Structure 1
Amino acid sequence: MIPAVDALLKDIRNKRIAPVYLIHGDEPFYIDRIAEELEKVAVPVAERGFNQFVLFGKDTDAGAVLNYARRYPFMAERQLVLVKEAQQMNGINDKSAQTLFEDYALNPLSSTILMLCYTREDGKPALDERKAWVKAFGAKGKLLGVKKLYDNKIPDWVGEYCREQGAKVSPKACQLLADHIGNDLKRLASEIDKILINLHVGEEISAATVERLVGISKEYNVFELQKALSQRDVVKANQIVDYFGRNPKDNPLVVILAQLFGYFSKVLLVQASKDQSDKGLAPLLGVNPFFVKDYLSAARTFPLPKVAGIIHAIRRADAQSKGIDTPTMSESDILRELVFEVLH
């Protein structure tokens, strides 16, 4: 859990609630989680019919939102006005709308809790916290930006999420989920929740559990491909590549290349490090100490110039997947050519 998010959730659970909130960033999982927690706590269930308003940005504008915010609660202590996807509000980038929000945020109604959930959309700039209307929310309430986690932080997040749900999970299971799903926290949480429903009391989430319940092939996944490459197991590596070629929807090339790039980049770090101990390498690589031996093994298999060549080959494969230089090559052929280059 991001410390700032954790602190804000604790405040809400303990009913230390601010009059205005602006939660923004490119990680919708945390934005939604904060909104859900506020919905649970802000207004008692019996009073929500007249005092809890959930609006969606594309259907409203600043004036309409503030009309709700300025009304008084009906036979209740307070009301909640929650705007989801606030970045889609009509005119939200106009100076006039931003001035309306700034004026209200600096003088909020004590009986209203106003929350704007502002998710950065792909290709759009992040919300500028230097703007006056944004700073006004921080001055009188809570302003919080949440960024997407880096890929190397995802296994730790999986482990933490499982522990929050009261479940034990193995390091390999965390890594397998991270490799298969990536940094989509909503999907990760959904898959983990499915696993937990089917788990026996006291049972640990193992790699085998993930393979069985998430639908990951036990023998043919990127984790096993990395292992086959590091052991120079030509037959196994090509079996996995053939499987990927027959199941492209479940094994997109762009994801495979990203994971292989991350793997061999870490192997390069191992070779450059003077400290070859598990304790020293784990924080350098950003992995659980359980996996350090895999990178040490790969570093012994491939000399430094070869690893540099592999990383270059992965970059070239990525360009090919985008139609550069070889527009007619299939994803399967690109991966097969890359694996050949790694192993020979």
Structure 2
Amino acid sequence: MDHKQILTDLKNKVYHPVYFLSGEEPYYIDIVADYIEDNILDAGEKEFNQTIVYGKETDMITIISEAKRYPMMSNHNVVIVKEAQHLEKEIDKLEAYLEQPTPSTILVFCYKYKTLDGRKSVTKKIKKQAVLLESKKLYDNQVPDWINGYLKSKKYTISPHASALIAEFLGTDLSKVANELNKLIINVPPGTEITPELVEKNIGISKDYNSFELNKAIGTKDVLKANKIVYHFAKNQKDNPLPMTIGILYSFFTNILNYHYAKDKSRNNIASLLRINPFFVQEYQVAAKNYNIKKAVKVIEYLRDYDLKSKGVNNTSATPGDLLKELVFKIIH
């Protein structure tokens, strides 16, 4: 099941004896586990019928013992195992319990940052007898759409520039992204479109000095703007580490090459090919005019060279700021 179906069932009071919540993306694991922790039992029932343990501090025999216990003055006994990935070596011991789980118990495993070994018999048993969530981490290019959907569920909209800005700055950690979005919308009335200006004001991400704007300045060969951003990055290296900036530029120029090689250069096809919002296709059209295939390939060579220099290879004295200034100069000229 995906997390939406699991939550729908829980809200409809359709409960299962065992939930195994696993995967690289902890956000959805936390959402399901938190709902169970907060909503299955009322405050009076929780005192005697809800147990929360941590994988580092317990073992599977203790967990199964808790799961076999019958509830007191309640319909359900809830046992939640957080950080269950630390029980990886003991997971086989769950197999016998899955054969005959206690009907009144809701046993929840939060198995973060990992997935089960599909070759093991216990994994097959979990897939058959339990509710299994496999929470996959999003790719970088999927985060803006996730931000759009999250805000839509809260009755907000967001501009493509603003969602790209947040995604670039916060990355793929959905818990972190959701936390920042929640802080933002506290100060903004429902129905408002989230703009780069609101992002800068409420999250602290500069709308003018970021890698997204650096790509745009380089793509249009706006020397003045690119140099302003480079200067800002040099003064704020902690927030703008050179390897990350180089990585974003590498993706940008790889996409320029992909644009050049695309036979169908229609807006929708390029958006699909580059996995970007159609709103940004025009930026690649402009960049492709300024950087032909030969130049784009040369830029990628520069990026690889300066990535090594940023890590100390063939570089004994240049600072990250100096390296970025050199790199951007070579790219534009």
In the superposition, the TM-score normalised over structure 2's length comes to 0.95
Alignment-derived partner of residue 192 in structure 1: 181
Alignment-derived partner of residue 240 in structure 2: 251
Corresponding residue to 1:300 among 270, 279, 289: 289
* Structure 2 CA distance for partners of 1:319 and 1:228, relative to 1, 3 Å: same
Alignment-derived partner of residue 32 in structure 2: 34
CA distance in 2, matches of 1:311, 1:15: 55
Alignment-derived partner of residue 11 in structure 1: 9
* CA shift digits 1:289-341 (9 cap, x unpaired): 11111111111111011111212222222222223332543222222222122
Q: How does 1:228-243 map to 2 (within 5 A)?
A: 228-243=217-232
Amino acid at match of 1:109: T
CA distance in 1, matches of 2:121, 2:79: 21
Of stretches 316-325 and 168-177 in structure 1, the one that deviates more from structure 2 is 316-325
* Structure 2 CA distance for partners of 1:52 and 1:305, relative to 1, 3 Å: same
CA distance in 2, matches of 1:293, 1:70: 61
* Structure 2 CA distance for partners of 1:243 and 1:74, relative to 1, 3 Å: same
Amino acid at match of 2:99: L
Aligned CA RMSD, in angstroms, stands at: 1.7
Are 1:333 and 2:326 an aligned pair?
no
How many residues end up aligned between the 2 structures? 333
CA distance in 2, matches of 1:327, 1:44: 63
Corresponding residue to 1:88 among 82, 86, 89: 86
Alignment-derived partner of residue 218 in structure 1: 207
* Structure 2 CA distance for partners of 1:253 and 1:133, relative to 1, 3 Å: same
Are 1:270 and 2:259 an aligned pair?
yes
CA contact (8 A) 2:199 2:207 kept: no
Corresponding residue to 1:105 among 98, 116, 140: 98
**1:255 positional shift:** 2.3
SS of structure 1 residue aligned to 2:72:
coil
CA distance in 2, matches of 1:220, 1:98: 48
Q: How does 1:288-327 map to 2 (within 5 A)?
A: 288-326=277-315
* Gapped regions of structure 2 (runs ≥ 5): none
CA distance in 1, matches of 2:223, 2:188: 36
SS of structure 2 residue aligned to 1:54:
strand
Amino acid at match of 2:104: S
Alignment-derived partner of residue 120 in structure 1: 113
Amino acid at match of 2:65: N
CA distance in 2, matches of 1:281, 1:244: 30
Amino acid at match of 1:77: N
**1:16 positional shift:** 1.9
Amino acid at match of 1:33: I
In the superposition, the TM-score normalised over structure 1's length comes to 0.92
Amino acid at match of 1:111: S
CA distance in 2, matches of 1:317, 1:85: 39
SS of structure 2 residue aligned to 1:18:
coil
SS of structure 1 residue aligned to 2:125:
helix
CA distance in 2, matches of 1:127, 1:253: 36
CA distance in 1, matches of 2:78, 2:167: 36
Which aligned segments of 4 or more residues in structure 1 are displaced greater than 3 angstroms? none
**1:238 positional shift:** 1.5
Are 1:261 and 2:259 an aligned pair?
no
CA distance in 2, matches of 1:163, 1:333: 42
* Gapped regions of structure 1 (runs ≥ 5): none
Alignment-derived partner of residue 61 in structure 1: 59
**1:5 positional shift:** 2.4
CA contact (8 A) 1:106 1:139 kept: no
CA contact (8 A) 2:155 2:190 kept: no
CA contact (8 A) 1:81 1:115 kept: yes
CA contact (8 A) 2:156 2:190 kept: no
Corresponding residue to 1:179 among 168, 175, 178: 168
* CA shift digits 1:104-138 (9 cap, x unpaired): 122110011111111127xxxx4313212222222
